[in-house]
Amino acid sequence: MMNGVIKMSFSKELKKELIKELRKVFDDKEFVLGILCDLRSDDDIKTLLTYIRQKDNIEAQDIILFALNIDAMDNDLIIDDFNVVTNGVEEIK
């Protein structure tokens, strides 16, 4: 972070993949942009994509809360061999 500016580095392919998944849940520009604002890297996108794909009947508010958690936990999330997302202590549902 330089001068209060957070550098976000997303690969174009992953960003497109996430946008596609988000629009399946809620096709709203503000929703998609809001989620992207909470993510800082390809690892954040991969974590969110894993979360979205492991949930049945996921809703927009689930994704919003999870994206906020990614931001708040400063990327301390772990995806184990079974694609279960944890914060190192407990499974995040």
pLDDT score of 75: 47
What's the Rg (C-alpha) of the chain? 13
Residue with tokens 């996921």: 58
pLDDT at position 33: 96
Domain limits of the chain?
Answer: 12-86
Give the pLDDT of residue 87.
53
What secondary structure does DSSP assign to the chain, as a single string?
-BTTB---B--HHHHHHHHHHHHHH---HHHHHHHHHH--BHHHHHHHHHHHHH-SS--HHHHHHHHHHHHHTTT--EE-TT--EESSSSB--
Residues of the chain below pLDDT 70: 1-9, 74-93
Answering whether pTM is above 0.85, one says: no
pLDDT at 73: 73
* pLDDT of the residue at 71: 79
pLDDT of residue 10: 81
Strand partners, 91: 86
